[in-house]
Amino acid sequence: MASMLTITVPKMGGAPHMIDRDQIDRTVDNLAPEVVELSRKIHQHPELRFEEHQAAAWLSDTIEKSAGVSVERGVGDLPTAFRARLGSGKGPHIAILAEYDALPEIGHACGHNLIAGGALGAFLALAEQRGNLQGTVDLIVTPAEEGGGGKIRLLNAGVFQGVDAAMMFHPYDRDILAHPALASRWLTLVFHGTPAHAAAAPWDGNSALTACLDTFRLIDSQRVHFRDGVRVHGFVTNGGQAVNIIPEHAACEFSVRAPFKAELERVAAIVERCARGSAMAAGVHVEISIRQGYREMKNNLAIARRFGAALEALGRKAPETDARVGSGSTDMGDLSQAVPSIHPYLAICDEGETLCHQHAFAACSASERGFQTMLTAAKAMARTTLDLLEDAALLEGVKAEFAKT
């Protein structure tokens, strides 16, 4: 994409000094037309998980052309992932993360185009100051948050090696600094029974569908034993073959989510028990397959509070959490278990107006308000990154908190 901006890089050498935060804000404001345009373009061309080829190309071209920073494409063996680095790898090492994948049919209804723009804005503003940075800053572009777990793949491939802290922001209907995200797991249940003529000889059959439906009922009967915040939700993917056949095959899928891993294990075992109990009652066989989802978010409050202070300096005051708000799951949870991390939410619409994964939220993700929030996020992330690079006591506190929680 054509670059509208040339960044002047200060000369290297001399003692590093504190970088002027107002200068960072001004750079983001100067970059605004280019960053907004790119975010809008990603919004207009939604790409599903692991297929974010255009978005990756637009983002990496902008970084190379605008900031003159070289981009390491395909990190972690993921073709649409990339990393751009400021600094030599020495000193404190901070990662700013971009997501950019969309959802089937409803496009950018999770606002990942704004996450990409916010991370890009922060990184380009810091790139202008690269001669004065007291450490290393990575922009890591992480594919497939929506069900693909790109961050987990990058983590396992060592892309976050040496990173001391990681951050991103997520659009929402309100500002929250450190909201929980749930640990998750998927279970697929396939029931195999005995077919028979449903009118002429139903006594010869064993209904796979009966066992499938009873599984839902048994799980409901167990909800009284779930801890607060647990979610178990499923749907039938195969309800039988024909109305005049006792169903030989039936299947359903469940998502199990919990605030922490031990509760996830416990509830997932209950769901399995319900499936086996239903199968036994119906005289059919059940096959259970499990797919790991995401870990719960371990919010680093020391970083989150600093991000909150940066937001406040920019005229926005955010609470740490909000008991009225539900939680989803994100692959940032997995990263947060390995590296001190934050995943703050920032409003792109009025409270209660709409939420992620709705059509109206997709519209907000390309609205003036959405883009303004994206630019505020860019400034706040750049300021927080500088705090982590320049304030040794802060980074020590971040690490101490991470080690003991």
Q: How many residues bind Zn ion (CB under 5 A)?
A: 1
Task: Examine residue 374 and tell whether it contacts Zn ion (CB under 5 A).
Answer: no
Site for Zn ion in 122-141 (CB under 5 A): none
Q: At what angle do helices 21-44 and 53-62 cross, to 10 degrees?
A: 150
Q: How far apart are CA 232 and CA 5, in angstroms?
A: 49
Stretch that binds Zn ion, among 13-21, 109-117, 291-299, 388-396 (CB under 5 A): 109-117
Comparing CB distances to Zn ion, the nearer of 208 and 297 is: 297
- Candidates 327, 399, 400; CA nearest to 181 is 327
**110 scored as a contact of Zn ion (CB under 5 A):** yes
Query: How many CA within 13 A on the CB side of residue 327?
Result: 30
Distance CA(299)–CA(180), nearest Å, equals: 7
SS (H, E, C) 204-245: HCECHHHHHHHHHHHHHHHHHHCCCCCEEEEEEEECCCCCCE
| Interface with Zn ion, residue 364, by CB under 5 A | no
- Residue 171 Cβ vs Zn ion, minimum distance, rounded to whole Å: 8
Q: Nearer Cβ to Zn ion, position 110 or 252? A: 110
Number of Cα atoms under 13 Å in the Cβ half of residue 246? 22
Q: State yes or no: residue 297 binds Zn ion (CB under 5 A).
A: no
Is 279 a binding residue for Zn ion by CB under 5 A? The answer is no
Q: How far apart are CA 129 and CA 402, in angstroms?
A: 29
Between residues 110 and 124, which has the closer beta carbon with respect to Zn ion? Answer: 110
Asked if residue 335 binds Zn ion (CB under 5 A), the reply is no
Nearer to Zn ion, 147 or 239 (CB): 147
Q: How far apart are CA 166 and CA 303, in angstroms?
A: 9
The DSSP 8-state label assigned to residue 194 in this structure reads B
The tokens describing 126, both together, are 């810091």
The span of 88-96, 108-116, 273-281, 292-300 binding Zn ion (CB under 5 A) equals 108-116
- Using alpha carbons, list the distances in angstroms from residue 49 to 71, 79, 84, 134: 21, 12, 21, 35
Residue 170: name the closest of 20, 328, 389, 283 by CA: 328
Report CA torsion sign: 293, 123, 157, 88: negative
252 binds Zn ion (CB under 5 A): no
Min separation Cβ 232 and Zn ion, Å: 21
User: Contact between 116 and Zn ion (CB under 5 A)?
Assistant: no
How far, in whole angstroms, is CA 37 from its chain's centroid? 23
CB closer to Zn ion out of 123 and 294 = 294
Q: Looking at beta carbons only, is 223 or 357 nearer to Zn ion?
A: 357
110 versus 382: smaller Cβ distance to Zn ion: 110
* Residue placing its CB nearer to Zn ion in the complex, 328 or 397: 328
- Choose the stretch contacting Zn ion; rule: CB under 5 A; options: 105-113, 201-209, 300-308, 315-323: 105-113
Q: What CA–CA distance (Å, rounded) separates 97 from 343?
A: 10
Biggest CA-to-CA distance, the chain: 92
Contact assessment for residue 12 and residue 131, using Cβ atoms and an 8 Å cutoff: yes
Using the contact rule CB under 5 A, the part of the chain among 25-33, 104-112, 201-209, 359-367 near Zn ion is 104-112
Closest distance of CB 326 from Zn ion, Å: 14
Q: Which stretch binds Zn ion (CB under 5 A): 24-32, 74-82, 107-115, 258-266?
A: 107-115
Name the residue whose CB lies closest to Zn ion: 110
Contact set with Zn ion (CB under 5 A): 110
